Amino acid sequence: MQQLKVYKFGGASVRDDVSLRQVASIIRSAATSPLVVVLSAMGKTTNALEKITDKVFVKEDPLPDIDHLYAYHLSICRNVFPPEHTVFRELDSHFSSLRSACITKQHLGYNALYDSLVSFGEKFSTCILHHFLLSNGIENNLLDSTELVKTDECFRAANVDWILTRVVIRKAINPSAPGIWVVQGFIGSSLTGQTITLGREGSDYSAAIYASALDAREVTIWKDVPGVLNADPAESTATVKFDRMPYQEALELAFYGAKVIHPKTIKPLENKNIELLVKPFSDPLAPGTLISSDPELYPQACSAIWKREQILFTLRPRDLSFISEAHVHGIMGALALLGIHQNLMQSSALHFSFCCDYRTDIVKEITEALGEAYHILHNQGLSLLTLRHFSEEDIQLHAASSALLMQQMSRVTYQALMKEMH
């Protein structure tokens, strides 16, 4: 018996009946080893559920949006199941639970409400995939990640209780027995049974959680790209695919904002030396990118990562004192309390600057926290470029024509904050 593998499919891979068939065919070809299939919500379901959550929170009627989402799932099912199939009853029951939750959970705070409603997307998708695989003669067990992934109650970004999660997952899945297990990505539950989510795009992380708990041989995340590229193809037309990448490099790229892998995915895999493959969903035999303990990055191309919608704050002490360690300590402490992550910072004699992702009310939040001690200026509408393994030509190519507000470089990483050109 081969060692267990984990496959993760994202929303784009299950957005319609055609992609659902492709998922089934990929799973069929892997069926010789024990396999855990981690699935995201279908298409843009999570965005739709966020909108529903917002409506419930402000006491607007969410039912038209729920009906719309139901119609979308129903239309996929109608294309792949006969009319009397049991999947229709189960889907109905999930949607009834969502409608009830919109009433019974209405009293919760925003983040807890968000998790209890947004988590439904993965329940719909796994219910459909489970039945679709069965109807294609692929035996599989549908499990519930809210019973298997145990966390704290940090809603929308829950922290995994690794020891308990390992025990619970291993009770439900025997990694050395043949079989296919279908589970929801993105969701879990706290020790008191509250449903949680792991953060947007968190299904990649779920795949790593299952792989770690089961000491899997490898994880494959199936994407709409040929593998990890040296730039987001949505940003750049000329991209290079990496064939091999060390864990460390994948961590760095994810940290600086490469959206292809959720940043929390790599560490649990690295800890157990579990290989991560990023492969193209549309071409399963293509090699993709292998992320492993192999220290070689191949090819040695420069990576460019853009973080859009940045805001730069520049602080000057009102008492005209020099910027000291105590100032930096105070400013960083305030950011930590506000849950704001700085993406780039710089200090001079009288000024301390940092940039971060823009969010509504951020200027007010920073002013309230630091305005008494500092004059505060801000610039909005900025982009942060990060280059890894850069040369002078790479800087010229990406950053030369833009208005720079701040730049920094180490031997491996170059960063520049600039005005958005589009």
Residues at the interface with ligand ADP (CB under 6 A): 10-13, 40, 201, 223-225, 228-229, 231-234, 258-260
Nearer to ligand ADP, 12 or 328 (CB): 12
State the residue number with the nearest CB to ligand ADP: 10
Q: Does 65 bind Mg ion (CB under 5 A)?
A: no
Which spans in 173-309 are helix H?
Answer: 203-213, 247-256, 266-272
Q: Name the minimum Å distance from CB 16 to ligand ASP.
A: 16
For tokens 């990562």, the residue is 305
Per-residue DSSP letter, 153: S
Q: Does 201 bind Mg ion (CB under 5 A)?
A: yes
Token couple for 306: 């853009």
Q: Name the minimum Å distance from CB 213 to ligand ADP.
A: 21
User: Nearest CA to 401 among 389, 386, 380, 416?
Assistant: 416
Q: Does 90 bind Mg ion (CB under 5 A)?
A: no
Residue 318, CB half-sphere, CA atoms under 13 Å: how many? 7
Per-residue DSSP letter, 321: P
Q: How many residues does the chain have?
A: 422
Footprint of ligand ASP on this chain (CB under 6 A)?
A: 10-11, 40-41, 46, 121, 185-186, 200-203
Nearer to ligand ASP, 198 or 418 (CB): 198
d(C-alpha 417, C-alpha 384), whole Å: 4
**Size of the residue set binding Mg ion (CB under 5 A):** 2
Contact of 46 with 118, CB cutoff 8 Å: yes
With CB cut-offs between 5 and 8 Å by kind, which of Mg ion, ligand ASP, ligand ADP, none does residue 125 bind?
A: none
Q: Name the minimum Å distance from CB 114 to ligand ASP.
A: 12
| Contacts with Mg ion, 4-43, as mask; x by CB under 5 A | ------x---------------------------------
For tokens 């006969």, the residue is 82
User: What CA dihedral angle connects 135, 141, 145 and 149, to 10 degrees?
Assistant: -150
Q: Name the minimum Å distance from CB 321 to ligand ASP.
A: 44
With CB cut-offs between 5 and 8 Å by kind, which of Mg ion, ligand ASP, ligand ADP, none does residue 153 bind?
A: none
- Written as one string, the DSSP assignment of 200-236 is TTTHHHHHHHHHHHTT-SEEEEEESSSS-BSS-TTT-
Which residues contact Mg ion (rule: CB under 5 A)?
10, 201
